[in-house]
């Protein structure tokens, strides 16, 4: 199975990003965490993205706030799927979301919601599950668990009401 790279523009993003790592751990997906800034360490970021596939990565989660160029910079130099995770750093994170989502033609970045690290982790797992039946089975069980939890919550609510 391929690994997931979890790249942050700053270590200050960790409190949000760790939720993606928790998902990867839950599904038994190998990962590496990196801090690389599109603006302050562009060579590091570019070198990582250029060599990520040969290092065994299958997906890159890139978290960034404010100008949020990191996901697009990584996507520009790799053929791996890049999941952009906008971080709420200013103006409610809308700037980050738009910077990541509005990529030019030819440089796609999958984008999750602002601070939606759990969904970034789940999307990475879903991408890897395309070639891993065991992982696909774990995802199916996860989805079934979510459905059961909703049914249980509904039942508790109905018991309170009636």
Cα torsion 65, 69, 70, 75 to 10°: value is 140
Distance CA 82, CA 129 (A): 16
**Token pair in block for residue 20:** 């993606």
Distance from C-alpha of 33 to C-alpha of 119, rounded to nearest angstrom? 17
Question: Where does residue 26 rank: exposed (0-12), middle (13-18), buried (19+ CB within 10 A)?
Answer: middle
Residue 8 Cα distances to 69, 105, 144, angstroms: 11, 24, 31
10 is in an annotated binding site: yes
The pair of structure tokens assigned to 74 is 């990584």
Three-state DSSP at 8 gives: strand
Annotated binding site: 10, 13, 40
Annotated binding site for substrate: 10, 13, 40
């Amino acid at each position: 199975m391929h690994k997931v790279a979890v790249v942050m523009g700053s270590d200050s993003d960790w409190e949000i990003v760790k939720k993606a790592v928790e998902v990867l751990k839950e599904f038994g997906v190998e990962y590496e965490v990196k801090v690389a800034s599109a603006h302050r360490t562009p060579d590091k970021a570019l070198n990582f993205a250029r060599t990520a596939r040969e290092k065994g990565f299958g997906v890159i989660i890139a978290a960034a706030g404010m100008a949020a160029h990191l996901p697009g910079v990584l996507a520009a130099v790799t053929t791996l799927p890049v999941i952009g995770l906008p971080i709420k750093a200013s103006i409610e994170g809308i700037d980050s979301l738009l910077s990541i989502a509005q990529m030019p033609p030819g440089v796609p970045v999958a984008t999750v919601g602002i601070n939606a690290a759990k969904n970034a982790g789940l999307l990475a797992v879903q991408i890897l599950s395309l070639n891993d039946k065991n992982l696909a089975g774990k995802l199916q069980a996860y989805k079934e668990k979510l459905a059961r939890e909703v049914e249980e919550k509904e039942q508790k609510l109905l018991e309170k009401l009636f």
